[in-house]
Chains A and B, each alone.
Chain A
Amino acid sequence: MNPLLTPELGTYVWSLVIFMTVLFVLRKYAWNPLLDFLEEREKDIAESLKMAESAKTDLEQIKDESEKILNEAKKEGKAIVGDSKQRAEESAAKILNDAKAKSNEFLDDAKSKIEIEKTRAIKEIKEEVIDLSLELATKVLQRNVKDDDNSKFIKSSLEAVKVDEAKS
């Protein structure tokens, strides 16, 4: 028989025994731990990838939110500035108006006071004029004058006063 194909039962039995031993030893100390380890590592990788993904979306969300907040703050700030400006303008206008109104009031008051003073002064002058004219008349009347002359004179004097009154 060809030595390459001779059945050697001893070698066969030894092969079986040795292979089975190797199988059990490796199964316990190599393959099962390694497969567990690889599975765990793959799970870890998948999980961390997922986490990275979610972190990325979270970050984007946060970025969006912060931008929104910033925009709102800007808008609000603008609104506040605008509002206060308007209010300041309003109050300035009001103050100005008040001042104008008060000054006008003062002016009017002064004018009316001047008017009153003026009329009083005119009245006093008139009384003075009448007194003076009466004094003058008495001095003139030191000489004898007829009644006719008297009445004529009084009448013309009165008219003159009236004309003066109308003029003033």
Chain B
Amino acid sequence: MFVGEKVGKEWTMDQAPQYAIDHVANSKKNIFEFEFLNSLSEKISSFFGLTSDSLFYIDLGITKHVFLLFFVSTIVVATLITFIQAYISHKKNIPNKFMSIIEMFVIYLRDDVLKNFIGAKEYRDWAPLIYTIFFFVLFGNVLGLIPIFDLSGLIGKIGYQADMLSKDNILYLLSKGGHTVTANVNVTFAIATITFFAFIGAGIQKYGFIQHWKNLAPSGLPWPLYFVVVPIEFMGLFIRPLALTLRLAGNMMGGHIALVIFITFIFSATAELGGLAGFGIAPFSISLALGLTMLELLVAVIQAYVFALLTAVFIGMAIHVDH
């Protein structure tokens, strides 16, 4: 939701929290309507006995976050493949500036994370997953920081004043809801699900199906302890992906909510105390937002790294059971 949309209208101070939440949440309406997706949603949901008013109704419609997922994945795939293929086919052994950043991350993750936690022998099986998680989350985080769709809202507001009222204009719909995909718990939970299956798969691949589940609890404990250890370990299995989900989504969400709240200081001051107060608070508000954006850039890299690192750690724990 683009900031400043309601300025001069019906803004009051108590709107700020809801406004900030709307800025991070997914759009309520689909941006693009595809008939086949709607009928597919109907079919899948009716297979599970769900109706469209149910909470777990599977709506495959292209909401803003789904659209952004396509956007982010296209950019990730295009950027990485372009640079890596150009680098490999050149045979010059000297990466250019952007490629050397990619290479720095790749080599760092390989030497300090993959080889360390998963092992020098097994790491090649899991490296693509870790790298994809890192770069996918990183691009999602960083693209969320660039206010491209706020700009589309502004263009829509200025250029299509009349159409904006119809509420079906694409630019208007694109400005609804946040544009940080990694702040959506459903997205992060999907990636965490893949992590979940990855570390279970890694254990099964190494030890076989039965031995892997036996590995959950350390052997050689007095038998009554197993009544405590096994449930804890089993819960841990599900808590790990949940923690990953909430950590990433929470971090991204929090930063953007704080960012919007800082900006709304200006509007609140204007609404409550007049235009002069709004001008007075603007430098303070903007410098806070600027500093927070810098911090968010750092957080974007750190959270991508943490997600990749923890995935590697969990896979490593499944492979090297002797904790």
Contact = CB atoms under 8 A, between A and B. Distances in A.
A26 B132 contact: yes
Main secondary structure of the interface of A (DSSP, over half): helix
Contact of B76 (A9, A22, A27): A22
Interface in B127-159: 127-129, 131-132, 135-136
B281 interface: no
A73 interface: no
B136 A22 contact: yes
B191 A25 contact: no
Given A21-B73, A26-B81, A33-B84, A10 B110 contact: no
A14 B69 contact: yes
A16 B55 CA distance: 19
B63 A10 contact: yes
Main secondary structure of the interface of B (DSSP, over half): helix
A27 B25 CA distance: 31
B76 A26 contact: yes
A65 to B, nearest CB: 35
B21 A22 contact: no
Contacts of B184: 8, 11
B223 interface: no
Given A11-B186, A26-B132, A3 B25 contact: yes
B132 A27 contact: yes
A4 interface: yes
A30 B84 contact: yes
Contacts, number: 129
Interface string B72-91: 01001100110011011000
A31 interface: yes
A78 to B, nearest CB: 54
Nearest to A25: B77
Given A5-B185, A11-B186, A12-B190, A34 B106 contact: yes
Interface bracket on A:
35 or more
Contact of B190 (A2, A4, A15, A33): A15
A2 B69 CA distance: 22
A32 B125 CA distance: 10
A7 to B, nearest CB: 7
Contacts of B190: 12-13, 15-16, 19
Interface in A16-59: 16, 18-23, 25-27, 29-35, 37-38, 41, 44
A59 to B, nearest CB: 26
Contact of B186 (A2, A7, A34): A7
Nearest to B99: A34
A26 B190 CA distance: 18
Contacts of A37: 87-88
B37 to A, nearest CB: 9
A143 B227 CA distance: 189
Given A19-B194, A30-B84, A33-B88, A9 B127 contact: no
10 contacts: A3-B21, A3-B25, A9-B56, A10-B61, A11-B69, A14-B66, A16-B193, A26-B128, A27-B129, A31-B128
